Amino acid sequence: MKIFLDLKLFIILLISIILGISNIKIQEKRFNSIYKANEKLTLIAKVDSDIEETEDGIKFTIKIIKNTKYKNTKLQVYIKGKTNTEYGDIVKVEGTFQNIDSYKNSGVFNLKEYLKKEKIYGNLKINNLEILSKSKTIKSIFFKIRKYIKEKYESSYSSKTKSYLEVIILGDKSNLEEETKNNFKEGGISHILAISGMHISIIILLIKKVLDKLIKSQKKKYIVLIILLIIYSQVINFSSSAIRSIIMAILHIIAKAINKKDNFLVNLSLSSLVILIINPYNLIDSGFQLSFLATLSLVKILPKIRNSIIQNKILKYIYTSIIVSISANILILPIIIKSFKKFSISMYLVQIFIIPFLYAIEIIGLITIVVPKKLIFMIKPILEMSVLIFDEISKIHFFTIYQKVPSIIEMIIYYIFVLLFIIKVKRKIIKKFLKEVLIISILICMLINITNISKKELEIYMIDVGQGDGILIKTPQEKNILIDGGGDEKYDIGENVLIPYLLNKKIKKIDYIIITHFDSDHVKGIFKVIKKLNVKNVIISKQKEDSENFQEFLKIIRDNKINIIIVKAEDKIQIEKDIVLEIFWPSEKIQIADNALNNNSIVGKIIYNKFSILFTGDIEEKAEKAILEKYKNNQEILKSTILKIAHHGSKTSSTIEFLSKVNPRIAIIGVGENNNFGHPSIITLKKLKIINCEVFRTDQDGEITIKIKNKKMKVTNIKMSKKRIFDM
């Protein structure tokens, strides 16, 4: 019986999913147990990737070929300086294993999880590398072809054109500028750069034009075409969309060669099955999900909404482009929002103008491969101009809407509505069943929302922002407080970590942002939050000294018309009925000149009934002593249930006197994995042990969740199998 797919296709997909999930569980055990952090290793391996130049040196991947325990695992290798290593070389490496740094928060891109798809277990910090033998495998030939193509692009065109050709023809984004990637991402048109069915169709069309002149036999043409597509699949960087498109194209060509009518949905299902067999981690990869669902959406939804009697060719092209884009996005919309947390309406219009230039770039880029260098001057102006226009169009984006991430039940409701639209009218039994499921799902969704509203608990989240601080507090009355937000000069923490994290928590409105001080690792991430989300108030202190970050902050505040609250010691802010914010530092009369930014950080306590959390910014010993002196007649006021350890656990902070007066039950430390500062200090950790305080840190525990309800405090982190419960 047909519902949405044939029963056979449904069975194929079901088997694929079951096998994929089972395989992933087996692989997960290996990923978590085979290597240990800081383990010294000596390995025989094969170079398994291109050699890539980065800011940190030379980067490539190795695949272990000897040693039973590590065999067939992959590691990323970084080497300072130059190397004459090439793909396929057999090497002996000595070094130290390091876990892959990633932001361990719910709803945030996790590099470690992403690299599992490539079977990469971690990084190897190289002490010594010895080439045992040079590459001789068949696959190395394909890498040499790719290298030849890259070198030809580099010697023939500008760096921008070369980088676009590497992406569009070879699927290699390593040389594409971050600004360019962000333009495509912001405009919702990143898929245009991915090798997909549209790209493969152009390649097939060009090859067929050439083969029609060289080969008369139709079957021989098909055989040559299949061989060339297989070669192309080995030359490009693998991606789910590229391999799916190539497999589907080959299945279609085979059907034509044997005079059989092929089934598009069968081809789609079989190609997906092959991809999952090769690597089951594709099942949880957004690229695979988007590629599969977009293709399915075009086949099942486009015919339902296409209805054009437009005769004018230009208007017809515009209409068709918009309808095709809308159709492709109907099934992938929840995945886009879940993956990227935003959706751009401008993409529908931008695609109309950018696609023709994409065709031009791809066609000329392919022709370049076979055209002698002496003749490239004939096509170079057209290509360079096409790239220039293509690049300028990519910068156009408007109506980019940040979205709260839908829950599983909300996604089920959405897809049931789509199914009801797609299924034929005569399938009355199926429609009736789906309507019943829809009603039940809506009721469950309403019940969950009512339960969440009535929870009446205080929630505190220590966010993993790398080497920095970021704390989110959700009050019982649904107010949101953000204390600091991390920051990195090379990586946009606000865009890539904080905003996705907040939207995953279904937060678009921040009632209070507290900026303890204006060091980059506390404030840089906040800037993007202020620009993109609805921020009501920002709390800061009077600044002892000016800084670039403070000036940037003032401009953003003015541009976005945000209310500023300037606080000083002994101020109180009533957040809601049972929650108050008390400020202990900085003092209006006494400010510390030494390391002024850190030592004049806001120190405050949020109090909820008998619970309290003290946040301390980056204060050091001088500030701690000044605070103890200021409150020497009432030091009990400092006592808190939770202490956010100052300055990431540095030895310059957390004196035993200060810790003893605060006397926390739990200490939380915001600190980056493998950071260069040696944070947290062993000295500080020993002091926390002396006061019998339980310690949680973001580099080891990831996101730390604390919930207070009914005189109970529950603490969880990503490594806990059970919640820790404390009586209040």
One DSSP character per residue, 127-153 reads: EEEEEEE---SHHHHHHHHHHHHHHHH
Least Cα distance to 357 among 475, 469, 192 occurs for: 192
**DSSP conformation letters of 662-695:** H--SEEEE---TT-TT-PSPHHHHHHHHHTT-EE
Give the mean pLDDT of the chain.
87
d(CA 607, CA 481): 13
Q: Is 12 exposed, middle or buried (0-12, 13-18, 19+ CB in 10 A)?
A: middle
**pLDDT greater at residue 667 or residue 219:** 667
Q: What is the pLDDT of residue 434?
A: 79
**pLDDT greater at residue 661 or residue 285:** 661
Q: What is the 8-class DSSP label of residue 451?
A: H
Q: What is the pLDDT of residue 581?
A: 97
Average pLDDT over residues 298-321: 77
Model confidence pLDDT, tens digit, residues 615-641: 999 999 999 999 999 999 988 999 999
Describe the crossing of helices 286-305 and 408-422 by its angle, rounded to 10 degrees.
30
Direct distance between the N- and C-terminal alpha carbons of the chain, in angstroms, rounded to an integer: 59
Average pLDDT over residues 218-230: 90
Q: Which two tokens stand for residue 630?
A: 């200021």
Confidence of residue 81 (pLDDT cuts 50, 70, 90): confident
d(CA 150, CA 163): 9
Q: What is the pLDDT of residue 3?
A: 43
Confidence of residue 2 (pLDDT cuts 50, 70, 90): very low
Q: What is the pLDDT of residue 706?
A: 93
Is the pLDDT at 280 greater than 90? The verdict is: no
Average pLDDT over residues 651-671: 95
Confidence of residue 426 (pLDDT cuts 50, 70, 90): low
Tell whether domain 511-520+534-727 is in CATH 3.40.50.620: no
Extents of the domains making up the chain: 1-29+200-284, 34-136, 138-187+357-405, 285-345, 408-453, 511-520+534-727
- Taking only Cα atoms into account, the Rg of the chain, rounded to an integer number of angstroms, comes to 29
Average pLDDT over residues 285-301: 83
Confidence of residue 134 (pLDDT cuts 50, 70, 90): confident
Q: What is the 8-class DSSP label of residue 589?
A: S
- Range ranked top by mean pLDDT from 51-60, 198-207, 519-528: 519-528
What percentage of residues in the chain have a pLDDT greater than 70?
96
Q: What is the pLDDT of residue 4?
A: 44
Q: What is the pLDDT of residue 1?
A: 40
d(CA 461, CA 448): 21
d(CA 306, CA 132): 60
Residue type, 23: N
Describe the crossing of helices 138-156 and 218-235 by its angle, rounded to 10 degrees.
80
Q: What is the pLDDT of residue 441?
A: 87
Model confidence pLDDT, tens digit, residues 568-606: 999 999 999 999 999 999 998 888 888 889 999 999 999
Non-local (6+) Cβ contacts of 676 within 8 A are none
d(CA 119, CA 105): 22
Is the pLDDT at 5 greater than 50? The verdict is: no
**In this predicted structure, which of 417-431, 536-550, 695-709 has the lowest mean pLDDT?**
417-431
- Range ranked top by mean pLDDT from 101-105, 256-260, 316-320: 101-105
Nearest 5°: phi and psi at 44? -100, 125
**Count of all residues that appear for the chain in the document:** 728
- Range ranked top by mean pLDDT from 172-181, 216-225, 412-421, 635-644: 635-644
Per the listing, tokens 């692009």 go with 153
Q: What is the pLDDT of residue 515?
A: 97
Q: Which two tokens stand for residue 167?
A: 């992406």
Q: What is the pLDDT of residue 259?
A: 80
Strand partners, 541: 567
**What is the number of other CB atoms lying within 10 angstroms of the CB of residue 18?**
10
What percentage of residues in the chain have a pLDDT greater than 90?
43
Q: Where are the beta strands (DSSP E) in 266-337?
A: none
Residues of 228-246 as b/e, b for ≥16 C-beta within 10 angstroms?
A: ebeebbebbbebbbbbbbb
Confidence of residue 608 (pLDDT cuts 50, 70, 90): very high
Model confidence pLDDT, tens digit, residues 437-458: 888 888 988 888 887 777 778 9
Is the pLDDT at 311 greater than 80? The verdict is: no
Q: What is the pLDDT of residue 13?
A: 65
Confidence of residue 727 (pLDDT cuts 50, 70, 90): confident
Average pLDDT over residues 457-480: 94
CATH number, domain 34-136: 2.40.50.140
Model confidence pLDDT, tens digit, residues 347-368: 888 888 898 999 999 999 999 9
Nearest 5°: phi and psi at 116? -60, -30
pTM as predicted: 0.87
Determine the 3-state secondary structure of 99 from DSSP: coil
Is the pLDDT at 413 greater than 80? The verdict is: yes
Residue 363 contacts residue 204 (beta carbons within 8 Å): no
Confidence of residue 74 (pLDDT cuts 50, 70, 90): very high
Q: How far is CA 467 from CA 103, 235, 423, 598, in A?
A: 10, 39, 51, 15
Residue type, 410: E
Q: What is the pLDDT of residue 425?
A: 59
d(CA 409, CA 704): 25
Confidence of residue 566 (pLDDT cuts 50, 70, 90): very high
d(CA 146, CA 238): 13
Q: Which two tokens stand for residue 490?
A: 């090379």
Model confidence pLDDT, tens digit, residues 32-66: 788 888 889 999 999 988 888 777 778 899 999 98
